[in-house]
Amino acid sequence: MATAAKRYEGEDIVVLEGLEPVRKRPGMYIGGVGMAGLHHLVWEVVDNSVDEAMNGHATEISVTLHKDQHTITVADNGRGIPIDKHPKTKKSALETVLTVLHAGGKFDGDNYKTAGGLHGVGASVVNALAKQLTAVVRRGGSQYRMTFAKGKPTSKLQKLKSSVRGSGTSITFTPDPTIFPKTAFDSSVIRARLEIASFLHRGVKVVYTDETAKTKENFLHEQGIVDYLGKVLKDRKARPIHETPFTFRKDGEVRLELTLQWTESTDEHVRSYVNGIPTGNGGTHENGFRSGLNKAVRNYIDTHSLTPRGVKITHEDIREGLVSIVSVFLPEPQFQGQTKDRLNNIEMQSIVEAAMRPALEQWMNNNRSVADSIIARIIAAARARAASRAASAAVSRKGGSKRTMLPGKLSDCVSSGKGDSEIFIVEGDSAGGSAKQGRDRNSQAILPLRGKVLNTESATLKKILENKEIQDMVAALGCGIGPNLNTADLRYERVILLADADSDGHHITTLLLTFFYRHMPALIADGRLFIAVPPLYRIDLGKETHWAADEPAREKILADYTGRANPEITRFKGLGEMMPKVLWDTTLNPQTRRLVRVEIDDHLETDRVISDLMGRDASARFRFIMERAEDAEAIDV
């Protein structure tokens, strides 16, 4: 059944005046009325004070969260909002700024060369969404006050004092509970934002007072974003691969500050800011930074002929593990929306790229050892990414159940994944048998491997994934492989490689190290991979028994011996020869054994050595042997 059409005439058009649009549609101005929108009110007022500091008019900003946790005061020692009559509105400039949208001193570049708030809606939006707001201004030797409620004045501009010292603005407001479901501020959120502001504006003192917690903190960072980078690295527990970060600053109409450092992490972490405002969704300044970074690194690789064989380096490889802070200041930023989380100025991409690319290139060329460690880290990322792609394809083709079964020959410990648990990856079934009998079953797991494992440097990933011994290792460790590896899922505290002390054992250890370095590098980075050092010799000196890991250790023991009895020396052919108790006493017992933690001091050199010794190209190994042939006193065969 048809219904009569509703009358729709000119008088039905609603015109919202003043700050009514803000109260009707707050999401358009602050992104929503949840906790993020609530705290956005604070950021709008703080940004105004920061703008004063950025332009050299303020040196201190203070923020106070009052006892009720619903009221905030933001004050600065800037010039103070003007209080004289505005020629157009016929109201004081203070009232105009706080009650009229798109009113402010930032449209004219004479007062603010750079500013976070350019839309002229920040202060008025806060006023519109506040149950009550009080503005106090010190200017021209006098102090003034004006009060508001829900965007409308509740008092006239009052002159409180004369002959006051200094200048500045103080805004105190309480959010309107009819707009916001929750109006209690989160102190930790405010504190974090203020600390970041102090990093981004060197020399500006930021004071935060929490009356409920009865705390007062002063933030002042003379090194600016360099200090900030250090804090980010500490918070993320990311270990840098080079000690000194790259830092770049450029002054002028467009100011640029950035600092970066590569770490052992597997993700990229960039924090970018425009005029002190965080741009969570990036924008053209971030695009320029990434483009300049990629070009600088590639130019360095090409210049010094460091392109690796058999692997393609992508932009993701270059930026893997990168932690950086990018901060730009420009006169007329064009943000995407009032929440200002993305910069749209097209010209900023080329400006940032052109400024930072040659500077980063020069820094790398002037710091060759640092640059080489960075390139080694990038090459390792490229190899891991290639392995991951192949692994994903292999898994897709194979399909089947996702359930991971522990290998049958694994003798697990009772407390796997807890405390001081550890797994020994042992050469051979006979050695594995002795280790299983001699171990501490509560904390030590044993996984025997059959013979020499596959050389993963020379094998395709398909072949690697089909190898039974490697499958057993990955299943026993339980933490994944390649970029999907998560050390938090590792079932043991330590992974220990245990092979014979002879040349065959060293070869097996090298094969295992190659696998872990190429496909499970996070275990090395986290200090979870170890090499056990079993004895090669047993030396009986009268009633005393000594153990020697190699020939030099044997000779030292004999040189120190002054007894009359002839020493009895036994050379072990392998771990399988040892009785379980002997293996426990010499190699498994945490109180008497010797472990070597696997660490990487020079990533580029490590990558080169593994590629030369274990790769397909035999020419590098031939050169190595020929150059050192005269140094070989004996060959262990």
pLDDT digits (tens, 9 = 90+) for 489-513: 888 999 999 988 777 888 889 999 9
* DSSP result, 91-117: SBHHHHHHHSTT-SSSSSTTT-SS-S-
Specify which residues 426 forms β-bridges with.
Answer: 448, 498
pLDDT at 280 over 90: no
Is 500 labeled as catalytic in the residue annotation? yes
Specify which residues 323 forms β-bridges with.
Answer: 261, 269
High-pLDDT (> 90) share of the chain, %: 35
The token pair at 59 is 């040196």
The token pair at 571 is 């050379």
Q: Identify the CATH class of 418-534+574-631.
A: alpha beta
Topology at the third CATH level for domain 20-218: Heat Shock Protein 90 (3.30.565)
Report in angstroms the alpha-carbon separations of 432 from 327, 437, 537, 578, 597.
57, 9, 20, 11, 21
From 502, 551, 577, 612, active-site residue: 502
Write the pLDDT tens digit of every residue in 312-330.
Answer: 899 989 999 999 999 998 8
The 3-state DSSP class for residue 338 equals coil
Its pTM stands at 0.57
Give the mean pLDDT of 460-472: 81
Q: Across the chain, what does the average pLDDT equal?
A: 83
User: How do strand 246-250 and strand 255-262 relate by DSSP bridges?
Assistant: antiparallel
Residue 104 confidence class, pLDDT cut points 50, 70, 90: very low
At 483 the pLDDT is 67
Give the mean pLDDT of 599-607: 73
Q: What single DSSP character describes residue 10?
A: G
* DSSP result, 513-539: HHHHHHH-HHHHHTT-EEEE---SEEE
Query: In 3-state terms, the chain is what percent helix, strand and coil (to 5)?
Result: 40, 20, 40
Distance CA 380, CA 519 (A): 9
Return the higher-pLDDT residue of 25 and 228: 228
pLDDT at 458 over 70: yes
Where would I find the H helices in 213-256?
225-236
Give the H or E element holding residue 276: none
From 51, 286, 457, 500, active-site residue: 500
Candidate from 168-172, 391-395, 468-472 with smallest mean pLDDT:
391-395
Place of tokens 């000119």: 10
- What angle, rounded to 10 degrees, do the helices at 503-519 and 603-614 form? 120
At 107 the pLDDT is 33
Place of tokens 């020419």: 619
Place of tokens 């600390």: 195
Task: Provide CB contacts within 8 A for 100, sequence distance 6+.
Answer: 18, 89, 124
Distance CA 284, CA 335 (A): 10
Give the mean pLDDT of 599-616: 76
Where would I find the H helices in 100-224?
122-128, 187-200
In this structure, how many other beta carbons lie within 10 angstroms of the beta carbon of residue 231? 14
Write the pLDDT tens digit of every residue in 229-261.
Answer: 999 898 888 889 999 999 999 988 889 999 999
Residue spans of beta strands (DSSP E) within 378-516:
422-427, 444-449, 494-498
Distance CA 600, CA 158 (A): 69
Task: Decide: 19 and 101 in contact? Cβ < 8 Å.
Answer: yes
CATH number of 225-333+341-386: 3.30.230.10
The 3-state DSSP class for residue 542 equals coil
Give the mean pLDDT of 455-470: 80
Write the pLDDT tens digit of every residue in 107-133.
Answer: 344 444 444 443 335 788 999 999 999
Task: Decide: 248 and 259 in contact? Cβ < 8 Å.
Answer: yes
Give the mean pLDDT of 614-625: 73
At 286 the pLDDT is 94
Distance CA 177, CA 69 (A): 13
The number of residues in the chain equals: 637
Is 427 labeled as catalytic in the residue annotation? yes
Residue 628 confidence class, pLDDT cut points 50, 70, 90: low
High-pLDDT (> 70) share of the chain, %: 86
The 3-state DSSP class for residue 629 equals helix
Task: Decide: 229 and 325 in contact? Cβ < 8 Å.
Answer: yes
pLDDT at 523 over 70: yes
Cβ-in-10-Å burial (0-12, 13-18, 19+) of 219 comes to: middle
Q: Is 37 left (phi over 0), alpha (psi -120 to 50) or beta?
A: alpha
Distance CA 441, CA 433 (A): 13
At 390 the pLDDT is 59
Residue 637 confidence class, pLDDT cut points 50, 70, 90: very low
Distance CA 529, CA 495 (A): 5
pLDDT at 605 over 50: yes
Task: Provide CB contacts within 8 A for 142, sequence distance 6+.
Answer: 159, 160, 161, 162, 163, 164
Distance CA 301, CA 314 (A): 13
pLDDT at 10 over 70: no
Write the pLDDT tens digit of every residue in 398-457.
Answer: 433 344 578 888 889 887 556 789 999 998 777 888 889 989 998 999 999 887 788 888
Task: Provide CB contacts within 8 A for 59, sequence distance 6+.
Answer: 53, 77, 203, 204, 205
Q: What single DSSP character describes residue 346?
A: T
Task: Provide CB contacts within 8 A for 636, sequence distance 6+.
Answer: 502, 503
Distance CA 588, CA 440 (A): 8
At 131 the pLDDT is 95
Q: Where in the chain is the domain with CATH 3.30.230.10?
A: 225-333+341-386
Return the higher-pLDDT residue of 353 and 387: 353
Cβ-in-10-Å burial (0-12, 13-18, 19+) of 626 comes to: exposed
Residue 303 confidence class, pLDDT cut points 50, 70, 90: very high
Write the pLDDT tens digit of every residue in 342-363.
Answer: 899 999 999 999 999 999 999 9
Give the mean pLDDT of 11-37: 71
Write the pLDDT tens digit of every residue in 32-41.
Answer: 888 888 998 9
Where would I find the H helices in 450-596?
461-466, 468-477, 503-519, 521-525, 551-560, 580-583
Residue 519 confidence class, pLDDT cut points 50, 70, 90: confident
Task: Decide: 151 and 18 in contact? Cβ < 8 Å.
Answer: yes
At 418 the pLDDT is 60
Give the mean pLDDT of 514-535: 89
At 127 the pLDDT is 93
Is 502 labeled as catalytic in the residue annotation? yes
Write the pLDDT tens digit of every residue in 548-581.
Answer: 888 888 888 888 776 666 888 888 777 877 888 8
Q: Where in the chain is the domain with CATH 3.30.565.10?
A: 20-218
Task: Decide: 448 and 432 in contact? Cβ < 8 Å.
Answer: yes
5 phi and psi, to 5 degrees?
Answer: -65, 140
pLDDT at 73 over 60: yes
Q: What single DSSP character describes residue 246?
A: E
